[in-house]
Amino acid sequence: MAIKKLTIEEFLALAKEFPVLDVRSPGEYNHAHIPGAYSLPLFTDEERKVVGTMYKQQSREAAIKIGLDYFGVKMKKMVEEAESITANHKLQTSNLKHETSNTVLVHCWRGGMRSAGVAWLLDLYGFKVYTLVGGYKAYRKWALAQFEKEYSFQIIGGFTGSGKTEVLQALPGAGHTIINLEALASHKGSAFGAIEGKPQPKQEMFENLLAHALAGTGYRIQDQESGIPQPTSCIWIEDESQRIGNLQIPMPLWYTMRRAPVFFLDIPFEERLAYITEEYGKLPAERLEAAILRIEKRLGGLEAKNALNHLREGQLNESFRILLRYYDKWYNKGLNNRENLASLLNKIPCTGVDTKTNVQNLLSCKTVSA
């Protein structure tokens, strides 16, 4: 079989059906990778370092020879791992259409010797192999380009405790497209966001996940004459600050979000307080205390002290009252720090934090686009 080289667009189209084998080192893969790709490293991190040093200090030929020393003893195991990956991929994706296919997509960092070596081995064994021109570097160029596009966003706004995330998550059931930034970032956006202990991805991996999510919304070329990409429909997204935990929304995408209409769920303070106390009040007190201490300087010494004292005395409602006022102040500042806010802001009166009712309230707003 002949090994076929693909552009990034062709590669990603086939990746919807067939497994992607990332043959970079474990360290490179763990830092960031194409979402859904499987790690099948040609070299360990240390072996990669040795080969790279040999390439720089001696020659390409010397690097290839030492690389072959590492590669030779791994050939059988790599073939068996590729067989296992393809079998599991078929089961996980219910890919019955290609039940007997042994097609794999292979890439390394720049589409060079590592992917060529593994592609040769798998092709020799009987796999149908595609490689990525430009490797992961080409993928990153594609990913960053997704943030430059002019998406048609509709922003769900509202103070902390408004249940914005729950409303967002309910919209696909009503036939609407969403991007869940907090899910991609593994963080809820406040000092309490990481309280459940789930680690955030690295910035580069977050960008990869976000680029894939954006590309999956149906974004395509509509104007064939100008070649200008246009969104096929509006995309709902939650109002966020640029930073979500330790991660940042890419600046071009952030600017697009700031120009989008905001649909503000206007819910009474006491209703939000009851909701937020119920949501976070079940968490261990020491984690709540640590979260308060993270914002101590911004909260102010006295307010932080009072919030901590209420927490320690079991007065959760009063502790969260202080915190909610703090977050309301900062959210309001961010909301108003928009150009042309008067033309973007649509306030939607809501009596309480009720997802079903507030979805109906949101979609009943006359300025909402389909």
**Which of 85, 115, 143 is the C-terminal boundary of a domain?**
143
pLDDT band at 224 (very low <50, low <70, confident <90, very high): very low
Q: Cα–Cα distances in Å, from 58 out to 45, 46, 47, 50, 70?
A: 20, 18, 16, 12, 18
CA distance linking residue 277 with residue 117, whole number of Å = 57
Verify that 137 and 156 share a domain, yes or no. no
Verify that 31 and 9 share a domain, yes or no. yes
Pinpoint the alpha helices (H) of 100-180: 113-125, 135-146, 164-170
Verify that 87 and 200 share a domain, yes or no. no
Domain that holds residue 343: 150-363
- Out of 108, 234, 350, 365, pick the active-site residue: 108
Verify that 181 and 325 share a domain, yes or no. yes
Verify that 212 and 318 share a domain, yes or no. yes
* Structural domain count of the chain: 2
pTM to 2 decimal places: 0.90
Verify that 76 and 102 share a domain, yes or no. yes
Predicted local confidence at residue 85, as pLDDT: 96
Residue 108 known to be catalytic:
yes
In a domain, 370, yes or no: no
**Which of 114, 143, 172 is the C-terminal boundary of a domain?**
143
Verify that 307 and 207 share a domain, yes or no. yes
Q: What is the CATH number of the domain that holds 171?
A: 3.40.50
The DSSP letter of residue 283 is S
CA distance linking residue 140 with residue 12, whole number of Å = 12
**Which of 122, 143, 164 is the C-terminal boundary of a domain?**
143
Q: What would the pLDDT profile of 233-270 be if each residue is shown by its tens digit?
A: 799 999 999 999 899 999 999 999 999 999 999 999 99
Q: What is the CATH number of the domain that holds 90?
A: 3.40.250.10
Predicted local confidence at residue 329, as pLDDT: 92
The Cβ of residue 25 has, within 10 Å, a number of other Cβ atoms equal to: 23
Residue 223 has pLDDT above 70, yes or no: no
Tokens 């952030």 label which residue?
A: 254
Residue 264 parent element (H or E): strand 262-266
Verify that 318 and 171 share a domain, yes or no. yes
Q: Can you name the residues that pair with 39 across neighbouring β-strands?
A: 22
Nearest to 344 by CA among 258, 280, 247: 258
Verify that 132 and 163 share a domain, yes or no. no
Verify that 109 and 254 share a domain, yes or no. no
